[in-house]
């Protein structure tokens, strides 16, 4: 049995809340799923595949923090945090977040499986500039790369909010009086400029603005909408960069970019995601929560 990364009482109480997390088969989304299960929530993983990617370099970088990078998220949650009354702690639904039908179906699957939807985490995203062979300026960037980035990072989040809020408005409010909690995954590059990442930065800036606007629309309905802004994070998104320039070299470079002295860990972001889905943040909406070890403030 894999080690439990989050003791049950470690963060905040999400007992019996139902969460839908996009892109939760790996990276930050996977860690949020683990943290939510440890806090008592039931989780639906919505992703294009249920299996995490092969990530030997990530395993090496993460060996002191997490023992299992390869077991599917669903299996990991159901093994470590069995549900009550025979319910699965976690289920998987295949979902392309650019497809309205897929996103709507994921919301329907969640409600049919668990009876309601309390939490949506719009986590699925790409950073395609990291896969280019050389750093590219805006005028050198392929239009298709820009379009795909915007489709997944922005359209995906917009669709998630569209279908999740419709469900949250239709169901009985949570016992706290809240109708729902939505967390959008942005980035430090949704707040500050990022060289050679114009597509990614534009998409995350859009997610930041989308968060503010939708928070205003749904505040009167008691639906919280907030965004998370990680620094460079130890996930498969950075594997192409590690392979291109060398893992050890990039670890040192990334650590130097963060005043705290290390790269952001998925666990850092997951802990804040738990807080934002709990009563601890009961009077919080439309805000940007930066989890970056000081990256965005160093100037």
Catalytic residues, by residue number, are 200
Rg, the chain, Cα only:
18
């Amino acid at each position: 049995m894999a080690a439990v990364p989050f003791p049950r009482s470690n963060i905040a109480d999400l007992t019996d809340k139902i969460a839908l997390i996009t892109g939760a088969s790996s990276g930050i989304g996977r860690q949020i799923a683990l943290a939510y299960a440890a806090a008592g929530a039931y989780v639906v993983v919505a992703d294009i595949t249920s299996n995490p990617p092969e990530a030997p370099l990530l395993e090496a970088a993460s060996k002191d923090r997490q023992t299992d990078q390869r077991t599917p998220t669903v299996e990991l949650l159901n093994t470590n945090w069995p549900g009550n009354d025979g319910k699965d702690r976690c289920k998987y639904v295949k979902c392309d977040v650019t497809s309205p039908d897929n996103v709507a179906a994921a919301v329907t699957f969640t409600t049919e499986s668990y009876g309601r939807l309390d939490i949506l985490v719009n986590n699925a995203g790409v950073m395609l500039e990291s896969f280019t062979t050389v750093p590219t300026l805006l005028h050198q960037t392929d239009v298709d790369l820009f379009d795909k980035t915007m489709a997944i990072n922005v359209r995906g989040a917009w669709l998630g909010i569209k279908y999740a809020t419709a469900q949250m408005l239709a169901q009985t409010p949570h016992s706290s009086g809240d109708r729902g909690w939505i967390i959008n995954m942005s980035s430090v590059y949704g707040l500050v400029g990022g060289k050679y990442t114009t597509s990614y930065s534009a998409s995350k800036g859009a997610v930041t603005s989308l968060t503010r606007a939708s928070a205003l629309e749904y505040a009167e309905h008691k639906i919280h909408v907030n965004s998370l802004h990680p620094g460079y994070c130890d996930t498969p998104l950075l594997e192409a960069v590690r392979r291109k320039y060398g893992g050890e070299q990039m670890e040192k470079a990334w650590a130097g970019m963060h005043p705290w002295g290390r790269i952001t860990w998925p666990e850092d972001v997951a802990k804040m995601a738990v807080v934002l889905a709990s009563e601890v943040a009961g009077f919080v909406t439309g805000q940007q929560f930066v989890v970056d070890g000081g990256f965005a403030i160093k100037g």
